[in-house]
Structure formats: C-alpha cells, structure tokens
C-alpha cells in the first residue's frame, strides 16, 4: 500500500485520475463504493454534544445548597469558556471539511481499477496494487477484495452474476498487470493505472495542477470561536452565580439545620447570630443525637470559647455515661479499659468508671467460685482464696505462675543398694534413682504443665488471671530436705513433690528389677505479702506396669517413664476433683513403645 497526495501530482495525472473516476477515460473503474454525503457530520454532532455537556456542567449544582459548586469557582468560568470555544471549534472544523469535500474535483469514493484499489475519500489517496492481492470473494451482495497486509474492501453488487463478472475482471486485470510489469510497458500500465505517469500527455492539459482549497474564512471562524467562547463562558458564569446565590440563601433559611447553616457560611454568609448561637447550638444538638462521645469532643475542640458552655458540659457527661453503659454490657475488663483509653476526658464519670471496673472483677470472682467445690478443702476455703486472688489481680494485674519443685526422698539409697546387690543388676544405668532425678522430672513437668494451665485457666478469663509456667525451683540433693518455699512476687501455685521408692519387683523376660514410686504432691497457691495460701496435698502411689515390664523391646527408662506419667495423671485428676465441681477430663499421654517382633513358630 502506498499513499499519494492528489494535489501534489502533476496536472496531467490529476486530470487522468478525475476522468478515470468518472469513467470518461480509460481505465474505467471495475467497481465503485461511494463515500458518505454527510461530510463533517461527526464534527457537527461533536459541536452540539460539547455545547450540551457545557450547558449541563453549568447547571450542575445550580441553586443546590448541598452541592460544593452551588456558587461556581473562577476555575469553572474557564471551563465554561473552554467548552463553548471547543463547541465553536468543532463547528468550524466540520464546515472546513465539508468545504474541502465539496471542492474535490472527483467524487469521494473507493475505486477498484484494473491496477488496484484507490481509497479516494479525501485528497490523500491510499493505493493498494493488485500485485499484492491475496483473495477475491464474490457474493450476491458484494465483491470483497483482500490484500496480503490484511486490508479488505467491499464493493456493492446488484446480483451474483455482476459480482462474479467483477471477480473475473479482477483476475484478468491482475494477470494483465503482471504482464505489463514484466514487460515494463508504460503504455500497458497506463491502460490499467489512472495514476501512472505516461510519456504522452494530452495536448489540451494545463500546466498548473489543481490546488488544495484554502478558505480564508476558516482562520476567521477559529478566531471568532475563541473570542465568542471566552465571552459567553464568563457571562454565563456571572449570571449563573447571581441567580444561584439567591436560591441557596432561601434554602438555608427554610431548612434551619446545622448542615444548612454551615453550608451557607461556607458559601460566604457571616450573620453573627448564626455564627455565635444558632449554628453552635444546632451542632451540639446534632452531636447529642448521635450519642457519641467522640462527636461531643470534636465539638469541644471546634468551639473552645463556646457561648453555651453549660450545655456543652451536660452533653459530655450524658454521652460518657451512655458509652460506659455499652462497655459495661460487654462484661469484660478490656471493654472498660478501652473506654478509659478512648475517652481521655472521662473525669466527669470517674466514680462510675471505677465502679464498673470493680464490677467486672466481682463478676469474675463469682463465676470462678461457682465452678469450685463448695465448703472447705483440707480445712481451707477455695472460695475465700479466690476472693483474695481476684482482689490482688484488680490492684496488681493478671499475672499468675505455676512453679514446680521436685526432690528425692532418702528411700532412693535403699532402692539403689537393693538393685546393686541383686543378681538382676545390670550396671549403674539401671539404678531406679537415675530415672526419677531432676532432669527426667523437668521433662515430665513440661508434659503436664499445659494440662494444669488449661484446667486452672478455665476458671478465669486471661484478662483477669493469666496463668503462665514459671521457672522450676532448684531441687535439693537427693535425700536432703528442701528449703522453705520462697515468697512469691506474683500469685504463684507451687507444685512441690517428693518421690520415694519402694516395693521391688522382678521381671525375668526381659530381665530387670524395678521399684514402685510414691510421689507426694504438696501444692501451695500463695499471694504476695499474704500468709494464707491455698494448700492441697495429693499423695500418689504407683507400681511398675506388668505390661510394660514384660514388653520385649522396652527399656528401663520406659518402665519408669510409664510409672511416673501415671502418677502425674493421678495427681492431676485428684487435684482438680478436690478443687472444682466439674473437674476437666485429663489424660497424660502414654509411653510409646516400639512394636514387638513376632516370635518364630
């Protein structure tokens, strides 16, 4: 495809093309598709559309108190002017294009010549040579011509026969064009191409080519469009604002609301009674209607020197009480604390706030006591201790700890000596005291600690009492008496337990000698600076499990691990049974033993 400017061609070629397009000189078009007669209509429609949009834009917010541009800014005057100018410019452009189309010496159309398709919808001619033709398709309605660059042209047909004849003519013309091109015959090419330069120009042809029309009134219309658009834009802006100002003033008086007064002042009103009394009072009533403390506080910040201060103070206290009531309904300490944090001006309700906070702790204590066993446990009252525990948490915070301490009683020496003297002695690694020492006990404590923490935490929300596992206390040397328990820094449940070994049992296969264990748990839940801890003693006794002792692949450690885990499980069950009405179901994981290999038959 190539593009040719008609007005840049020599006069002989221009005349040949005009004559050929009119079929008065060869080559005549094989098919023609005329262009639209409505030249410039898009520009005329665009002119009307821009004018309509500008008018709608100018009416936007007119007389509307709620609209930010009820009184249009100066910037909008510029937009009005631009809109009117653009509308007039589109009109000018449409007139210019229409004038150019009417001044063309040939009919605006797409021509199918024997040499190719010429798109002559304007003075810029687009030429597609038949040498680049890819496909021709004929139907009863149209002849479709497609080139190798994908461009397709369709020419109307009145019948299938006419379309088929045109298709054959195109094929023949393509062959003739190929022959003329190979022969390099100017005469043959000129018979096919109306834009081909011949060596024999017409003696009647003029030397001066057709010139592109340049209407002088086009520039004048452009200038008129700019001047008219600017003048009309400013005039519309001034008249619009004057009429709109009257309407929004009447609307503000009719509404008599905070928003109406505020919007009216934003538009430029400055009446003293509205500024000092009517608008502040309306804003305060609006803030009170929402029942929001934040709204009242924003009002106070916006009116530091209010003329209605007594009304403001009353509104703030009412809003604070309403907000505090919502926090109390949640029934959590977090809601009460959040109220105090989110409302720094809560001094007017300080007494009510303290009462609400205390009520949360009282409710937490009452709930915990309802879960405890009634009466006394080992001559102590768990309910009375809970009251002291919650009172301490109310003053010092929710932190509480569980701390373990384990130690061996003097019986370990007897047990170890018995094993050494036995024929079943397998070395120091099989001594029973080795498997109930502090290192083994630390791992077992870590195993039951989550169970103990979960059971105790079920009595309280973490925001009231939050149980955590503390570092274990140092164990005394085996056989020595432990030091007294230290005074706690926070509420602490001490799990102080002693292990005694007794009751030897022999096992032949696998070979081994094992001792039972009595583990004596003394729990003491102590509060800082108080002398009445809640003490519960839970003694346990467990003998080695015969199933574990006789397991073919078990180790010595497995037997004692199973024994101690069962002792810890008994402690947990008895402790919760003595403390709670409905104790939780607890289960210490069993020792996992390797599967036994089947014996040969």
- Give mean pLDDT, residues 408-420: 94
Span 299-355, pLDDT tens digits: 888 888 888 888 888 888 888 888 989 999 999 999 999 999 988 888 899 999 999
Q: Of 106 and 458, which is predicted with more confidence?
A: 458
Confidence label for 204 from pLDDT (cuts 50, 70 and 90):
low
> Could you tell me which of 237, 138, 131 has the C-alpha nearest to residue 176?
131
pLDDT at 36 over 50: yes
pLDDT at 182 over 80: yes
Q: Of 77 and 376, which is predicted with more confidence?
A: 376
Q: Are the C-beta atoms of residues 581 and 373 closer than 8 Å to each other?
A: yes
pLDDT above 90: percentage of residues in the chain: 45
- Give mean pLDDT, residues 433-454: 95
Q: What is the largest CA-CA distance in the chain?
A: 145
Q: Of 335 and 279, which is predicted with more confidence?
A: 335
pLDDT at 559: 95
Helix (H, G, I), strand (E, B) or coil at 142: strand
Give the side-chain half-sphere CA count within 13 A for 333: 18
- Give mean pLDDT, residues 94-121: 84
Tell me the two tokens of residue 155.
């020419």
- Give mean pLDDT, residues 514-529: 96
Q: Are the C-beta atoms of residues 135 and 170 closer than 8 Å to each other?
A: no
Q: Domains (ranges, CATH) in the chain?
A: 1-9+28-35+108-215 (2.30.29.30), 36-107+216-267 (no CATH), 268-325 (no CATH), 399-579 (3.30.160)
Q: Of 247 and 357, which is predicted with more confidence?
A: 357
Question: What is the distance between the alpha carbons of residues 296 and 276, in angstroms, rounded to a whole number?
Answer: 17
pLDDT at 601: 43
- Give mean pLDDT, residues 483-512: 94
pLDDT at 370: 96
Span 262-273, pLDDT tens digits: 787 787 666 677
The answer to whether the peptide bond before residue 135 is cis (omega within 30 degrees of 0) is no
């Amino acid at each position: 495809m190539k593009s040719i400017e008609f007005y840049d061609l020599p006069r002989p070629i221009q005349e040949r093309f005009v004559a050929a397009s009119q079929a008065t000189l060869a080559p005549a078009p094989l098919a023609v598709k005329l262009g639209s007669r409505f030249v410039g209509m898009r520009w005329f429609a665009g002119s009307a559309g821009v004018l309509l949009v500008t008018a709608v834009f100018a009416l936007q917010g007119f007389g509307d108190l709620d609209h930010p541009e009820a009184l249009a800014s100066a910037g909008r005057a510029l937009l009005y002017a631009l809109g009117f100018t653009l509308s007039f410019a589109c009109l000018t452009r449409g007139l210019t294009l229409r004038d150019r189309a009417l001044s063309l010496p040939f009919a605006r159309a797409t021509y199918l010549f024997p040499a190719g398709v010429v798109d002559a919808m304007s003075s810029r001619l687009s030429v597609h040579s038949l040498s680049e033709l890819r496909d021709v398709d004929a139907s009863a309605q149209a002849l479709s011509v497609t080139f190798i660059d994908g461009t397709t042209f369709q020419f109307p047909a009145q019948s299938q026969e006419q379309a088929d004849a045109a298709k054959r003519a195109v094929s023949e013309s393509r062959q003739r064009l190929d022959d003329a091109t190979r022969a390099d015959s100017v005469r043959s090419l000129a018979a096919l191409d109306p834009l081909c330069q011949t060596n024999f120009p017409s003696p009647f042809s003029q030397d001066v080519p057709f010139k592109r029309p340049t209407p002088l009134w086009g520039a004048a219309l452009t200038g008129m469009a700019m001047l008219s658009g600017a003048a009309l834009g400013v005039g519309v802006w001034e008249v619009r604002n004057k009429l709109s100002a009257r309407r929004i003033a009447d609307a503000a008086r009719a509404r008599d609301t905070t928003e109406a007064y505020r919007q009216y002042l934003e538009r430029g009103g400055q009446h003293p009674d509205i500024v000092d009394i009517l608008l502040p009072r309306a804003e305060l009533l609006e803030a009170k209607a929402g029942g929001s403390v934040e709204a009242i506080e924003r009002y106070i910040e916006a009116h530091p020197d209010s003329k209605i201060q007594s009304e403001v103070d009353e509104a703030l206290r009412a809003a604070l009480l309403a907000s505090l009531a919502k926090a109390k309904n949640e029934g959590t300490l977090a809601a009460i604390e959040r109220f105090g944090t989110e409302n720094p001006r809560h001094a007017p309700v300080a007494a009510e706030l303290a009462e609400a906070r205390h009520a949360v702790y009282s409710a937490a204590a009452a709930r915990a006591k309802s879960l405890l066993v009634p009466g006394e446990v080992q001559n102590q009252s768990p309910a009375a201790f809970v009251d002291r525990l919650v009172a301490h948490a109310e003053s010092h915070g929710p932190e509480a700890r569980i701390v373990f301490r384990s130690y061996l009683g003097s019986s370990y020496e007897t047990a170890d000596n018995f094993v050494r003297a036995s024929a079943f002695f397998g070395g120091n690694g099989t001594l029973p005291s080795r498997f109930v020492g502090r290192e083994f006990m630390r791992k077992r404590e870590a195993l039951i600690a989550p169970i103990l923490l979960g059971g105790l935490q079920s009595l309280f929300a973490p925001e009231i009492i939050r149980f955590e596992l503390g570092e274990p206390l140092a164990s005394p040397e085996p056989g020595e008496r432990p030091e007294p328990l230290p005074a706690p820094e926070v509420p602490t449940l001490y799990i102080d337990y002693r292990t005694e070994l007794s009751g030897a049992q022999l096992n032949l296969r696998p070979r081994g000698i094992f001792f039972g264990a009595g583990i004596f748990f003394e729990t003491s839940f102590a509060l800082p600076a108080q002398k009445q801890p809640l003490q519960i003693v839970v003694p346990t006794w467990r003998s080695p499990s015969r199933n574990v002792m006789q397991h073919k692949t078990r180790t010595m450690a497995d037997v004692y691990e199973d024994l101690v885990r069962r002792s810890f499980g008994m402690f947990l069950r008895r402790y919760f049974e003595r403390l709670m009405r409905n104790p939780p179901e607890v289960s210490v994981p069993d020792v996992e033993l390797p599967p036994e290999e089947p014996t040969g038959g």
